[in-house]
Amino acid sequence: MFVLNEAAVTTYSRREFGGLVLTGLAAAPLMGRAAAQKAASSRFAGVRIGTQSYSFRDRGLDEAIAAMVTVGISYCELWSGHGERGAVVVPPGGNRREATRAWRTSQAALDHFKTIRGKFDAAGVTLTSYDLPFSNDFTDDEIASVFAMGKALGVNVITSSAKVSVAERVQVFAAKAGMKVGFHNHSRIAPDEFATPENWATAMAGRPNMAMTLDIGHFTAANFDALAFLDEHHDHIVSMHIKDRKRDQGATVPFGEGDAKVAEVLTRLRDRKWDIPAHIEFEYRGDAIVEMTKLLAYCRKVLEQ
């Protein structure tokens, strides 16, 4: 998953993704119909199948919600790119980082996230978590504000691509809020990065509010076994990102074409009745609605066979 930086809030809309224009044209009539509808349930055989809203990064929040309704997804982990894009106003000559910090700690931010929650409620899409990357340069007030945002959204889990070293500070605020933080892994193995089982063990040691967001694609690309890890640590996993990747830092590919044990992971959630939301994260090239429809159908077929 892409990690939002402050510059990305203003520059992201200018990026071109493969097939973006065609996607928008093809999806427009579908979105128009979806706007007045509610998403069909995507809980299959007891397993909550949702999406990371980053899967619809090629469009704004309203369009992303409409796409979820079109595809038939009723659970979502909200990406901070959708949560904050366009909300932060930088005054002339101002610093975006400081403006973002000031906005996050304001009442305006809480009102903004309450409005977002209303949009998801109206679409019949349940928010499961909010994804924002904690950084070591966060002030105490800024850390606290992330949990306030989560409460405004109605979630009790924050997911975060962050450094291992940030866990000590974040634990204090998570405990006060009564919320969990699921640190998200990537495939790059490096000091202070979440990639290996040991990284999570370090962050969680003696910190009961620190938890795991297991990205099975990245975990596989780093040459670990996501199914075995799920079996051992399911009690500490608060969110999952479902994608397929090749081992040895390989490419992200459609389900069934890589080395991640997508089907096995899903059926394990079903058979053991582990109620961990499984968020599809679409990251390879293609039309987001077309590909997400295929990926959701794959999950449903696996779970209902």
User: What's residue 36's pLDDT?
Assistant: 55
Q: What type of residue sits at position 62?
A: D
Residue 7 lies in a domain: no
- Is 221 domain-assigned? yes
CB 61 within 8 A of CB 79: no
CB 198 within 8 A of CB 175: no
Rounded to two decimals, the pTM is 0.88
Q: Assess if residue 16 is contained within a domain.
A: no
Residue span of the structural domain in which 61 resides: 41-304
Q: What distances in angstroms separate CA 37 from CA 73, 83, 155, 256, one per listed residue? A: 12, 22, 23, 31
Pick from 10, 240, 274, 253: which is nearest to 131 by CA? 240
Digitized pLDDT (tens) for each residue of the chain, 305 residues in all: 544 433 333 323 323 333 333 333 344 444 444 445 899 999 999 999 999 999 999 999 999 999 999 999 999 999 999 999 889 988 899 999 999 999 999 999 999 999 999 999 999 999 999 999 999 999 999 999 999 999 999 999 999 999 999 999 999 999 999 999 999 999 999 999 999 999 999 999 999 999 999 999 999 999 999 999 999 999 999 999 999 999 999 999 999 999 999 999 999 999 999 999 999 999 999 999 999 999 999 999 999 99
Which of 132, 192, 195, 197 has the alpha carbon at shortest distance from 168? 192
CATH number assigned to the domain comprising residue 229: 3.20.20.150
- Domain-embedded: residue 177: yes
User: Total structural domains in the chain?
Assistant: 1
What pLDDT is attached to residue 174?
Answer: 98
Does the residue 32 lie in any domain? Answer: no
Residue type, 284: Y
pLDDT of res. 37: 82
> CB neighbours (10 Å) of residue 152?
18
Quick check: is 10 in a domain?
no
Residue 15 lies in a domain: no
**Containing H/E element for 121?**
helix 107-123
